[in-house]
Amino acid sequence: MPEAQPSIEGVRGFRAAGVQSGIKKSGALDFALIVSDRPCSASGVFTTSYVKAAPVLVDMEHLSLRAGSIRAVVTNSGCANACTGQQGMDNARQMARLTADKIDCAEQDVLVLSTGVIGVQLPMDKIERGINLALDTPEDDWFAAARAIMTTDTRPKMASVTVTTSSGQSYRIAGICKGAGMIAPNMATMLSVVVTDAQLTPEQTRSALKAAAKISYNCIVVDGDTSTNDTVFLLANGASGAAPQSETDLAQFQEALDTVCTKLAQDVVRDGEGVTKFITVRVEGAPDDAAARQIANTVAISPLVKTAFYGNDANWGRILMAAGRAGVPFDQNRVSLWFAPGEAFEEPLQLVADGMPLNYSETQATAIISQPSVGILLNCGAGAGAATVWTCDFSHEYVSINADYRT
């Protein structure tokens, strides 16, 4: 499978636009629309928070009714439409209805996304303006759409892969994503829309997206918080004529989808608020994969681990501390720990063996964790379970960004 490209040249049957509707006081792009020229099979994964934004609730309802006929995803940034009561629900539905009226489909065939400040009602006059502007934009502009859904992101996030099947047919999978803060591995962890011109059933999109999310969006941490609006969609319109149905072709589609989703998820961490380091946490030797994921998540979320990495302090004791409170039993006398530069765990430096520190070079350890990309490998000596989670450091800038987010 080729690497995902950080751009989108177009996906057959889909058109994307990003415009300025006036929601953001800065005048930045703040409204995106993705439209398919034919009905799509679609699925979504959503925040597990008990405080769900109005668009999340509306989308869950629409997908339960019309998962085989979705035509569009409409997104605003600058206002989350969360904790907004019945008016917020009415506004989310009106956002779908205004779009549906313009593209001649049912209201339930439109999915809606919102991101921004919680507790503020959508300015529906600006929402309508955004819909009209987006539909009047003749260009297919995924870059503008990716920019328009950003909040504290510093750059747009895009990925695409082209796949050729065993029969010689080709299709594309492409996606955009936003997220920089309020990121934790508790599906989902941001807003993301992934589309493909392959032909799939709603059940196939649901199964594929769930599997992809498990190893991508559910494996990232910036700050340990899960948003009220977290949503990821997969839409398949079949415009390429390629219909992966054999076991081999479906496995190929899954691999390609995993590639796109992993690229987008990792981009979120790399662009995390105030981030200076991208950290790969690999846990092996756990009782099972779920236990390994639990340990890795705990290490990845730990403020003490994250601040140590920001300060270039090779304080490995904080990693063992976090692993020990993850709720997974293991024998501390069998634990081993390595640091490695980069993401491939090449030339690792072992710091701990059998639960005790080795006579390693502190200078070498400091040099490794001073790199912009660092790997942590922890072996618990308790089984065959393994998992990887991507996280980042905590910097002064993270505090500055979130201390005055509304101002």
DSSP 232-286: EEEEE--TT-----SHHHHHHHHHHHHHHHHHHHHHHHHT-TT---EEEEEEEEE
The one-letter amino acid code at 175 reads: G
Q: What is the 3-state secondary structure (H, E, C) of 350-396?
A: EEEECCEECCCCHHHHHHHHCCCEEEEEEECCCCCEEEEEEEECCCH
- One of 189, 226, 259, 280 is an active-site residue; which one? 189
- Classify residue 252 by burial, with Cβ atoms within 10 Å: 0-12, 13-18, 19+: middle
Give the list of residues 6+ apart from residue 115 with CB closer than 8 angstroms, or none. 75, 76, 77, 78, 80, 149, 151, 178, 191, 229
Q: Does 262 participate in catalysis according to the annotation? A: no
CA nearest to 93, candidates 129, 69, 60: 60
Q: Which residues are catalytic?
A: 189
